[in-house]
Amino acid sequence: MPELPEVETIVRDLSPRLRGRPLRNPQLFKTDVLRGISSSRFLRVLRNNRVEDVTRRAKHVVILLASGERMVVQPRMTGALIVYDRRLRADERRYVVLRATLGNGSILVYRDVRRLGTITLLDQARWEAYTARIGPEPLTSEFTGERFIERLSGTKQAIKKAIMDQRRIAGVGNIYANEALFRAGIDPSRRTDLLSSDELHRLYRTVRHVLRKAVRAGGTTVRDYRNGTGGIGSYQRTLLVYGRGGDHCTRCRTILTTTHAIDGRATTFCWRCQSVAR
Ligand SMILES: [Zn+2]
């Protein structure tokens, strides 16, 4: 699932290719990805609208249009937002949900195999309400260790669940929560309110570290994730625990454990390196 680093990569790829371009002849082949807008109104707003800017908020791609509206795309498990500067191959055409030509021979495509992703169109007021519900961006300079601790205060939830809660902190999902907790030596099931200030500061540093490194690597491709030009990321080579259940811990050689008991998602950890008394 695209998390902060994957969506950041998509945005960096798309931004120079979309900025200033008109969305010509937009076509929507499946309407079930739309949220809060009819397909006819969606297409009417898009048609010949110009892209002013492409940014990221949490795990969402935000395309600001000249009309002032924002098209917000959340690719989730199987979606990909790609600009092609050539004709699409048959296999690439297969799962196209939305396409528009950009007036320079390039094509913007939103493709989604299982259509788990969503697209919405927000005016300024609805955008402000939308973004206000999401927590702060963890890679900004204003996001200090104190801010991190403050966002996690007052909850008995498992720490892994708390750092993945988008209302508390933006952009962290299952992959980077697993990785950051391992690097910080914290048991993912620990109660957030029982963690020490030292542990939280350590986790603050590892969360930022894995997100930064993954942005630099162009994200993690484990299944369907593709960047904004259809390529793959490389952070999967750096993963220490995610997807490695049953393998040896890189630090102590203990067999890594995978559990679904914390939040229904796969949590992989080392019971030795991530125990309370370490
Ligand atoms: Zn270990």
Q: Domain segments of the chain: what residues?
A: 4-132, 145-269
**One-letter identity of residue 24:** R
Mean pLDDT over 93-100 rounds to 94
CB 209, CB 183: distance < 8 Å = yes
Q: What pTM did the predictor assign? A: 0.94
Angstrom distance (rounded) from CA 266 to CA 21: 41
With CA atoms as reference, report the closest residue to 181 among 247, 264, 105, 270: 270
Angstrom distance (rounded) from CA 34 to CA 269: 37
Mean pLDDT over 213-239 rounds to 92
**Letter string b/e over residues 161-173, b meaning 16 or more CB atoms within 10 A of that residue's CB:** bbbbbeebbbbbb
135-179 per-position pLDDT tens digit: 999 999 999 999 999 999 999 999 999 999 999 999 999 999 999
Tell me the catalytic residues.
Answer: 2-3, 59, 265
Residue 225 has pLDDT above 90, yes or no: no
Q: How confident is the model at residue 277 (pLDDT cuts 50, 70, 90)?
A: low
With CA atoms as reference, report the closest residue to 178 among 116, 254, 253, 238: 238
CB 82, CB 9: distance < 8 Å = no
Give 276 or 57, the one with higher predicted confidence. 57
Task: Report residue 165 as tokens.
Answer: 């809660």
SS3 state of residue 108: strand
Task: Report residue 111 as tokens.
Answer: 């493709």
Å from CA of 17 to ligand 1 middle: 44
Q: How confident is the model at residue 1 (pLDDT cuts 50, 70, 90)?
A: confident
Å from CA of 249 to ligand 1 middle: 5
Å from CA of 166 to ligand 1 middle: 29
Mean pLDDT value across the chain? 95
With CA atoms as reference, report the closest residue to 81 among 89, 90, 72: 72
Q: Does domain 145-269 have CATH number 1.10.8.50?
A: yes
Å from CA of 10 to ligand 1 middle: 33
Residue 278 has pLDDT above 80, yes or no: no
Superfamily of domain 4-132: MutM-like, N-terminal (3.20.190.10)
**Letter string b/e over residues 58-73, b meaning 16 or more CB atoms within 10 A of that residue's CB:** bbbbbbbbeeebbbbb
